[in-house]
Structure 1
Amino acid sequence: MRRPACRHPGYVEYPDAKKSTPQCPAALRRPPRPTAARRAATSSGLVPFATGANCWSTGCRRGDTVLDVGCGTGLCLPLLQRKVGASGVIVGIDESEQMLQVAGERVAAHGWDNVRLVAAPVARAPIEGTADGALFCAVHDVLQSTAALDHIFAHLRPGAPVAAAGGKWPASWLWPLQPWVTALHAPFVNDFTRFDRPWQLLAQFVPDLRVHQLALGTGYLALGHAGAARSVSRR
């Protein structure tokens, strides 16, 4: 049975999650450069997106195995712990060893022994077995990687709850907000391609994806359930 979409006041749904979108200007593409310290310092601005993902996690149960894709410094780990409990397993994946060091300190401080941190690119991360859910929080570049999405969804059971949350360009009439959005996300976004609809590729893996706007359209929360794993279009 399809779970009802989670709604909060102020959310606005996008009826066509798969709608095409133009590519970003080359000037907004940048080489990888975020450090753990900088990401940790700026991640406080992403707390509303992580908190909003709690809506998705209601589909998780005690004992589930969940993937925290691009977990960074572990901002979402407390949320996931509350849902899966000590009998569950959380697999945090990030290619930055610096960020995982911070996440590891968070895990040690709380005494969590059910968290596995994997230092590897998402597309090549070793994932054992099949997971029961996946969270993509503030990982725009991962969501634009066909290889990463193929790999993650190959390790999700059909119907597993999936959520993506993060920033996006506001509507054109809110152009004064764009410099603020850029400054907030530039420390950990390498390429702003599809930043107006970051969920475009994800929608091809999540047939029932529903997208809601947050923070005057400068953020989004996308919720749904995994379909059959397959390759997505590179457009």
Structure 2
Amino acid sequence: MPTDEPPATPDPHKTARTYGPEANRYDRRTTAYQRWRDAVVAKLDVGTGDTVLDVGCGTGLCMSALHDKVGPSGTIVGIDASDEMLGLARERATNNDWHNVRLLSASEPAALQDVRADGALFCAVHDVLQSPAVLTQVLEHLRPGAPVAAAGGKRPPIWAWGLRGWIRSLHSPYIDDFTGFDRPWRLLAAHVPDLNVRELAFGTGYLATGHTPAPTP
């Protein structure tokens, strides 16, 4: 029986072991979800010249759409726990001549130390979204009032119980702990007061958008 208690802070070494073996086939196995990646980037309210934080960037599958939004004068800061995933993201950036992509390892405690971003993307990063400590660390590197967008899978509603086993199996290679899978955005909502959530695909996925608190006048 799932609980509503958040798991402990994700162990980047464990995450690296989870994703490392999947790196070379990750793009192929998740091709069907590219339209959702493009959809969540489209909802992220950043523009030309902005710096955007791509949390759990993986192999860089959101970077093309992000690059279209921020342009060559903007910056994409990708952070991930898997060196194998980061290596493929680096190849993607090099092959596309994206000179404004900066890649960071989540295993480095001070990875985000000098980052100040205008927006943040959380795409298919369930374990990250279930950690209050990691969320706080990431969001404190955003400017006040910065846009945030998140998307991913979720446990289907009770009326679609027949899909639950299939959805869990589909996501199990990429999720360490399914705690909070009913409402993956619930901890993010504590940091993003205007968070708007739209469930997708018969309740098996979601897209959430909002802003960090604006500065006090």
- 1:79 corresponds to 2:65: yes
Match runs of 1:77-116 below 5 Å: 77-116=63-102
Determine helix, strand or coil for the equivalent of 2:48. coil
**Equivalences for residues 140-219 of structure 1 within 5 A:** 140-219=126-205
Aligned 8 A contact 1:46 1:138 in 2: no
Q: Is the 8 A contact 1:95 1:119 kept in 2?
A: yes
TM-score normalized with structure 1 length: 0.80
More helix by share: 2
| C-alpha contact 2:112 2:141 (8 A) present in aligned 1 | no
Q: Among 201, 209, 214, which residue is 1:223 paired with?
A: 209
**Quick one: distance in 1 between partners of 2:42 and 2:72?**
20
Q: Secondary structure at the match of 2:198?
A: strand
| Residue 54 (1) aligns with residue 41 (2) | yes
Offset at residue 175 of structure 1 (A): 1.2
Distance in 2 (alpha carbons) for counterparts of 1:227 and 1:160? 8
Alpha-carbon distance in structure 2 between the residues aligned to 1:122 and 1:214: 34
RMSD of equivalent CA atoms: 2.1
Q: TM-score when scaled to structure 2? A: 0.86
Shift of 1:209: 0.2
Paired residues in the alignment total 203
Matched, 1:41 2:25: no
For residues 21-51 of structure 1, the C-alpha deviation after alignment (integer angstroms, 9 at most, x for no partner) is 9348x9xxxx642331243332224323212
Cα deviation 1:40-78 (Å, max 9, x = unaligned):
332224323212213323x21100000000000101000
Contact 1:205 1:226 in 2 (8 A): yes
The amino acid of 2:71's aligned partner reads G
Whether the aligned pair in 1 keeps the contact of 2:41 and 2:121 (CA below 8 Å) is no
For the residue of structure 2 that corresponds to 1:198, the secondary structure is coil
Q: CA deviation at 1:122?
A: 8.3
Q: Distance in 2 between matches of 1:187 and 1:107?
A: 25
Question: Take 1:158 and 1:101, find their aligned partners in 2: how far apart are those partners?
Answer: 32
How far apart, in 2, do the equivalents of 1:124 and 1:144 lie? 21
Q: Which residue of 1 aligns with 2:10?
A: none
- Number of the residue aligned with 1:18: none
Q: Distance in 1 between matches of 2:67 and 2:42?
A: 15
| One-letter identity of the residue aligned with 1:50 | R
Query: 3-state DSSP class of the match of 1:162?
Result: strand
Q: Flag the 1:198–1:186 CA change in 2: closer, same or farther, 3 A.
A: same
Distance 1:122 1:147 in 2: 15
Unpaired runs of 5+ residues, structure 1, are 1-20, 230-235
What is the identity, as a one-letter code, of the residue corresponding to 1:76?
A: C
Greater Cα offset, 125-134 or 102-111: 125-134
Checking the alignment, whether the CA contact within 8 Å between 1:159 and 1:225 is kept in structure 2 is: yes
Change (3 A) 1:184 1:159: same
Cα pair 2:79 2:104 within 8 Å, conserved: yes
